[in-house]
Every structure is written in structure tokens, then in C-alpha cells.
Structure 1
Amino acid sequence: MGAGLPDGPLVAFYGDDFTGSAATMEALTFAGLPSALFFAAPTAEQLARFPGLRGIGIAGIARSQTPAWMQTHLPPIYEALRETAAPILHYKICSTFDSAPHVGSIGAAIDIGQAIFANSWVPLVTAAPAIHRYQAFGNLFATVAGRGFRLDRHPTMSRHPVTPMHEADLGLHLGKQTKRSIDVVDFVAMKTGQADAVMAARRAAGAEILSLDIVDQETLAEAGRLVWENREACQFAVGSQGLEYALIAYFQKRSWIPAQAQAPMAAGVSQIVGVSGSCSPVTAEQLSWADANGFRTLPLDATLAVDERAWDAEIARAVAQALGVLSEGASPILYTARGPDDPSAHTLRPAVEAAGVAMDLVNDRIGNGLGRILDRTLGEAGLHRGIIAGGDTSSHAALAMGVYALTAVAATVPGAALNKAYSDDAAHRDLELALKGGQMGTPDYFGLIRAGGRDSSSTL
């Protein structure tokens, strides 16, 4: 394997949230490129525990942070990526381009990266057909229940509580976050053999960021080719896990790695525990499926997080309730909202404003609390498999559990695998975690994690 590929890590990435970071690590691993995801820049001792890595990831929380936070925290992370000597250094974003000038700014992340890497161009690869994301003429589309939506008309992203998408043209959206010139290599050029000429013309005209269309497997592999063949030393790239999917497709096309083998499964278990901070309709549907299939869904009052003592009491109540459900033979899933139309999804902000506290502090407190609920419930029940749903939630919740790394062990649906967790705490020796973005997964997702994954030959 890899006759046409250099030795050592091929991709080193920083993910701006934990679920997307885990999805990127998963994509590489299941393509036969062993990868690990660390929750901070790994030490030499930690890296030594994972020999032969082809992908090295660092999961982060930049998606929920300000540009000022990025100015402080991203430079040392970018330097850690450079130290891996991987040819592709990837700032990983959400496949729905979650960002705004004031929070999760992709433009700020690019500006900071370019000040360090100074590449003559920055590839932007956002679409990923495997997870139903498509880009045409620079506009991003995503499907819900089999129906495609332009992102500014997407039922979730158009009214996202933090970073609503009002523009599907990624160049226009990103243009509000950076002054760097942005252009597109469109899918027509890719399909007619004109991609190289169009790319050269765009760069000659001054474009520094080039957004690459992807609408199918052919353009996916072509996007991978454009990035790989035009890479510079320490090539800084931006995109979703679509970047890794594109590179994998190109490597497979060149027979540098074999065609993707059947993804692995893990042993099933009788009970699991889950927590959810997602208000996505996809997660809401999964909660409804869970109620009908041996799970018990339990609401949490997130407004109590405006007061630390009240939130601690809510956490204690939730753990006791979850343990009671486990004693009855069911699997508890504790959630803060059941879809965007749940009244609880609209009560948090007024409660925060009335209390006069910062929204980011409350959001951090909620995520941390969900991690504490999951950790305590698993520990007291003697269980070892859990789920965290929600991109921003996963970041804070996983950190609260004292985990320092993940490796993918079982496939469910693309972007939401079951992972082995690594911790210096002996109590977490057998811990398995699934990190699921709000919009990821089929209705039976919680059941798939309980069962240990899905046979990749089955129909999704």
C-alpha cells in the first residue's frame, strides 16, 4: 500500500468541533489510513502510543469561539500540526459551514493560518457526498430525509441558534469574514478536463482561496487530485471531512491505497447511556425512534445552567433518574431539546439575558454538565459505552470526561462512528464513545451504537 505516497502522516488536522474531528479521523481510518484524534496537541509520549499513524487530528472548540480567542489559541495548534511533517495541514470545519464574523470565523482561521504557512493558495473543500453535502458553482447544498436544500433554505441551518446561514454561496458568506480573494473551480470545469486551466486562471487573477465544487464521486476524486498535485510545502487547507474523502478518492483512483474494505463492527451491548445538546430535527427523530426501541428519553432543563448551583442540582437529579432507568433494563438518553420546535429550544436565551450572564459561559456549562452526567452514570452503572450528540456539546462533554484521544473502531453511518476512548484514568480503560453531530445519522442511530455498528454491506 502507498507506493505513490510518502511515508509517515499524510494529513494533520485541527477540527473546530469534536464531532467533525471524529468524523475526519474515522474517514481516514476506515480507508486503511490509521489515524488518531487527540483532544489537545499530543505529547511525544502520547504519539508514541500510536505507531504508524497516517492521520493525526486535534479536536477543538473554535467553532464556538471568537476571532480574539482564535488569535490566542490557533497559532500554537498550527505549529503543532506543522511539527507532524504531514504534507497536508487541515483546518477542519463543519460540512454545513457553521461560522459568522463574530463566532467560529473560518475567515479568521484562514488569516491566522496564512500568517504562519504563507501558501500561495488555500484549498477550500466543503462538500462530501458520503454525508449528503454537495457544492455546485460555489453554492452548498445538504439533504434532509432525502430532499436537498440550498443551505440558506435548510430547515436547520437557516435558523441555527448561533450561526444561521443566510447565504448558500460560500464565497459570499466567507467574504464577510476575510478580505482575501475567493473564487471557485466549478464542477463543469472538473468534468470537462478544464480544472487545471480554470484553477491557473483563477490564481493568476489573484484568488488566494479556491473553493472546489463536488457533486459526485468523479468530482470528489478530482478535487482530491487538485489539492494533492498542487500542494506546496506544509500545504494549509480548509474544509470539512470532504477534504479527506476527496484525497482518499484520488488515492484509490491511483491505486495508492486499496478500495475501501468493509468497515468493522464491535460487539453489541444490552445498555448504553446517551446525552444530547442538539436541537436538530434529525436528532429529534432519533430520540423518537429510541423511545420506541428500548430506550428512555429524559428531558433536562438547560435554563438552570444560568446558575451554577441550580445546574449542579439538575445534574445530580439527571444522574439519579438515568440510573433508575438503567435499573429497569432500559437505556437512558438525556436531552436539552427535542428539535427546533421544542419550546425548550427557545427558552434558554431569554433565561440567559434575564440572569445577566454570558451566553458562551452558559453553553460551556451545559456541555460540561452533559459530560459529567454521562461520565457519572456510566461509572456508577458499570457501563462502558456512551453517546454524545451535538457538535458544540461534544466538545465540552468529552473534555469533561478526562479523555485525551479517540480511535475509530466500528462504523455506523459516515461521520458518526463508535470510538475507543483513551484516558489516563484506569476507570476509563474500556470506555467507548460515539460523537454525533446534530444532523448526522439515520433514525436508528442510537440502536446502531448499542448494537456495535452497522454492517457496511447493509442499506443505509
Structure 2
Amino acid sequence: MAQALLGCIADDFTGATDLANMLVRGGMRTVQSIGVPAAGTKIEADALIVALKSRTIPAEDAVRQSLEALEWLRAQGCRQFIFKYCSTFDSTDKGNIGPVADALLEALNDDFTIACPAFPENGRTIFRGNLFVGDVLLNESGMENHPLTPMTDPNLVRVLQRQTKSKVGLIRYDTVMKGADAVRARIAELKKDGVRLAIADAISDADLFVLGDALGDLKLITGGSGIALGLPENYRAANLLAHAEDAGELPKIEGRSVVLAGSASKATNAQVAEWRASKPSFRVDPLALSRGEAVVDQALEFARSHGDETVLIYATSSPDDVKAVQKELGVEKAGQLVEDALAAIARQLRDAGVRKFVVAGGETSGAVVQALDVRSLRIGPQIDPGVPATQSIGANADDAPLALALKSGNFGTPDFFAKALKALDGVA
């Protein structure tokens, strides 16, 4: 296999698998690394994704980690790069989207890129620079209650401008609908006006294909997973890529399963409620954790008491409950307690023979894969839009692979957990 064409840097682990899912659907063999691999490590794939846990860390740390990832991807021979963040543009007024995009542009010695988190298949669309989630603006979608990155302004031009010293512009929908040549002309106009970052409107997959065509010559593209839709075709048109029909094939893994949920999003709350209506579940209480109660041991005993039956272990709560806990413990401590507990549970369940993990929530997924010592993932078929089945790639032949479904908190239908378990059981 030739060297990788596309190198991607994702600011969380579920976002990385979301992007990987899109590339596999486009016929690109894709491998996702958890963190930056050691210098000198070579991985063969059409697309490589470095998954970081950088969305909510200090901006200077996010920049440093992203530049380290870029250096490794460049060493793999990648010729184009994506900085991938959430389709709800999760960030604060201090970053981290703007600072990381600025730093990557500078490192690549380039002067322009776009920002387009649109993912129409999951209801994320952008019109006149405003981000919609389904039929409502971002700040009315529930994201205004996010415990770490509350999104209270739907206008992405304003949001991004508060994060960067670069001038931010807009590629409006009336330009995108005219086609790739019109987008390229608009980019030329924006660059003449000193714009370095531009929000791009998109309300359908067709718009994302137009943008993909227009962005073929950019060194850096930033956005959600949807922005990758049109890129594989660019590589095929340049005779750099053949469509891999088997890009998503994975071998079957035997063993027990568990579902772990830490996200407090509307989607995950619905998924937890759907499961709890008929299947066994155990709630991880952050206040009990803060009091030093043996919550981890209790969860493990609950799982053991159900034998081979799959259980849900969750910390998912309503926004009001989350706020009450954060008020008592503090935002950072509350989140860390839950992540550490679910990570410890995952590690001990693996040691007890569990081989299939469904995990809900970006921060939770990051904590779990690190606890499981997963270094890289082979990407399989789609379970729900933005969520593929994956398998761990061991450091050596003796490492038993794990099957994982890592889900962004906002993604998936109410019956996602059942669908994911079926997919992990039947991956072939």
C-alpha cells in the first residue's frame, strides 16, 4: 500500500471515529491512533487519524498536542490535513478551535482554511453562518446546557472570531449552491481581503461534496466529519486512490459485552432511558464517589451478578442534575470523578473477560480507551451516522483485540445501544 494521503487530527476520540466512519464509507482504508504514535512508527492506510483529548484542555496544550500530531502525520507522507472538531462546534470563547487552526496554518506555511462543522445526516446544518441542530439554532438545542462547553451563540463567524486573531469571513450558501468554481472564486476574494479563516455554509451532503471539490488544493481543512465527504473523490480523480470495497471489513470477536455511558446529552439520556426500560443497569453517582464510597466495586459486582448478560453502567443525568452536582463538587472534579470511575470499571471488566465495549460520550470514550491501553483502531462499518464499529490493533500478535463502539454524546437513535451490540457481535 502506498503512503497515506490524508492526515487528520481530531480533538476527541469519538469525533475521530466519526471522521473515520466517513472516510471508510468513501472507500479509504483508515486507521485511528489514540494519541500521537512514537516517532518512527509507520502505519499503512489511505487515511490516518490521530485522536487527541484536547477539546477542553487549556488552549496552549491543545496547540502543542496538535502540532505534535501534525509532525507525525507529515512524517507518514500525508499531503492534506483535516483538523476535526464537533459538529456542534464545541468550544469556548478562548478556544480551542481558533488557536489550533491558527497554529496548524502557520506550521504548514499556509494562509487560508475553512471551518465547516456541518453534518446534515445528523441534523447539523449551517446557513448564513448560523449553526442549526435539527430545526433549532445551536443555542436552543440543549447545547446551551453543555457542562464543559456551553454553546450560547449560534453564529459561528462571531464564535470563531472571539477565538482567533485571524480575520474570519463567510462562504455563504448562495455561493456554495453555484458550485465549486464559485467557491474557489469566493476563497480568492476572501484571501485578498485578509481573511485567513472562513465559515462555510452547508445544508446538505451535496453542499459538502461541492466544498470537497473546491478544497482539493488546500493544505488544511477544518470542520466536522461531513467535510471529508468529497475528499476521496479528489484523490481518485488524481489517480492517487482506488476505491476499497472492503475498507470496513473486520473479523468477528468473541466474548462478553458491556455498555458504559457518561454523556449528559439529550441523545444519550434517551438511549439510557430506552435501555433501562427493559434491561439491567447500574448508576454511578458522582456524589457517592466524592464521599469515597466503593462505587466501582459495586458496579463490578453488579456486572458479575448478571453473568453473560450485558449490563449498562452509566453516569448520565439530566442537565439540572448535572448542574447540581457541579455546583457542589465543581465542574472539573465532577467530570474527573466520573471519567476515572468508568475507566477503572472498563479496565477491570476487560481483565475479567469482557471483549466488547459500547461507550457513550467523548470524554468518557477517551478515558475508557486510555484505561484499556488501546493505541490504535481499525475502522469498520457504520452503526449509526457518525458512529462505526471499530477494533483495537494490538502492539503485538499476542494482544487480544477488543471490539468498540465509541459514540459522541449527541449521536445515535434511542435504540443505539442495542444496535451497537448487535453490530459488534456480528462484525464480519
Give the TM-score normalised by structure 1: 0.84
Distance apart, 1:408 and its partner CA: 1.6
Q: 1:413 to 1:26 in 2, by over 3 A?
A: same
| Aligned counterpart, 2:369 | 398
Q: Indicate if the aligned counterparts of 1:275 and 1:387 stay in contact, CA closer than 8 A.
A: yes
SS in 2 for 1:118: coil
Q: Deviations over 1:379-429 (max 9, x none)?
A: 32x231011110111112211111101112232112111210124488851
1:138 aligns with 2:124: no
Q: 1:111 to 1:449 in 2, by over 3 A?
A: same
Distance apart, 1:261 and its partner CA: 8.3
Distance apart, 1:260 and its partner CA: 7.7
Which one of 263, 288, 306 corresponds to residue 278 of structure 1?
Answer: 263
Q: Deviations over 1:427-449 (max 9, x none)?
A: 85131111111111111111112
* One-letter amino acid of the counterpart of residue 190, structure 1: V
| Aligned counterpart, 1:20 | 15
| Aligned counterpart, 1:74 | 66
Which one of 285, 295, 320 corresponds to residue 314 of structure 1?
Answer: 295
Which one of 124, 136, 141 corresponds to residue 149 of structure 1?
Answer: 136
| Aligned counterpart, 1:199 | 187
User: Which range moved further: 187-196 or 204-213?
Assistant: 187-196
1:159 aligns with 2:145: yes
1:323 aligns with 2:304: yes
SS in 1 for 2:359: strand
Which one of 336, 340, 364 corresponds to residue 315 of structure 2?
Answer: 336
Looking at structure 1, the residues matched to 121 and 355 of structure 2 have their Cα atoms a distance apart, in angstroms, of 29
Q: 1:122 to 1:306 in 2, by over 3 A?
A: farther
| Aligned counterpart, 1:458 | none
| Aligned counterpart, 2:327 | 350
Counterparts of residues 377-396 of structure 1 (less than 5 Å) = 377-380=349-352, 382-396=353-367
* One-letter amino acid of the counterpart of residue 150, structure 1: L
User: Which range moved further: 66-75 or 388-397?
Assistant: 66-75
Q: Indicate if the aligned counterparts of 2:261 and 2:315 stay in contact, CA closer than 8 A.
A: yes
SS in 2 for 1:97: coil
| Aligned counterpart, 1:236 | 220
Q: 1:13 to 1:361 in 2, by over 3 A?
A: farther
| Aligned counterpart, 1:172 | 158
Q: Which runs of 5+ in 2 are unaligned?
A: none
Which one of 16, 28, 32 corresponds to residue 27 of structure 2?
Answer: 32
Which one of 273, 277, 281 corresponds to residue 297 of structure 1?
Answer: 281
Looking at structure 1, the residues matched to 262 and 396 of structure 2 have their Cα atoms a distance apart, in angstroms, of 25
Distance apart, 1:46 and its partner CA: 4.8
Q: 1:287 to 1:276 in 2, by over 3 A?
A: same
| Aligned counterpart, 1:183 | 169
Q: 1:352 to 1:428 in 2, by over 3 A?
A: farther
Q: Indicate if the aligned counterparts of 1:183 and 1:209 stay in contact, CA closer than 8 A.
A: yes
Looking at structure 2, the residues matched to 25 and 452 of structure 1 have their Cα atoms a distance apart, in angstroms, of 17
Distance apart, 1:181 and its partner CA: 0.7
* One-letter amino acid of the counterpart of residue 153, structure 1: E
Looking at structure 2, the residues matched to 100 and 291 of structure 1 have their Cα atoms a distance apart, in angstroms, of 34
Looking at structure 1, the residues matched to 249 and 269 of structure 2 have their Cα atoms a distance apart, in angstroms, of 27
SS in 2 for 1:409: strand
How many residues align? The count is: 424
* One-letter amino acid of the counterpart of residue 288, structure 1: A
1:94 aligns with 2:82: no
Looking at structure 2, the residues matched to 443 and 106 of structure 1 have their Cα atoms a distance apart, in angstroms, of 30
Looking at structure 1, the residues matched to 398 and 341 of structure 2 have their Cα atoms a distance apart, in angstroms, of 19
Q: 1:215 to 1:261 in 2, by over 3 A?
A: farther
Looking at structure 1, the residues matched to 158 and 275 of structure 2 have their Cα atoms a distance apart, in angstroms, of 40
Looking at structure 2, the residues matched to 98 and 186 of structure 1 have their Cα atoms a distance apart, in angstroms, of 21
* One-letter amino acid of the counterpart of residue 97, structure 1: F
Looking at structure 1, the residues matched to 325 and 396 of structure 2 have their Cα atoms a distance apart, in angstroms, of 34
Looking at structure 2, the residues matched to 43 and 185 of structure 1 have their Cα atoms a distance apart, in angstroms, of 38
Q: 1:45 to 1:111 in 2, by over 3 A?
A: closer
**Identity percentage over the alignment?**
22
Q: Which runs of 5+ in 1 are unaligned?
A: 1-5, 354-358, 456-460
Q: 1:14 to 1:305 in 2, by over 3 A?
A: farther
Looking at structure 1, the residues matched to 399 and 311 of structure 2 have their Cα atoms a distance apart, in angstroms, of 20
Distance apart, 1:453 and its partner CA: 6.0
Give the TM-score normalised by structure 2: 0.90
SS in 2 for 1:443: coil
Q: Indicate if the aligned counterparts of 2:29 and 2:244 stay in contact, CA closer than 8 A.
A: no
Looking at structure 2, the residues matched to 428 and 330 of structure 1 have their Cα atoms a distance apart, in angstroms, of 25
Q: 1:448 to 1:425 in 2, by over 3 A?
A: farther
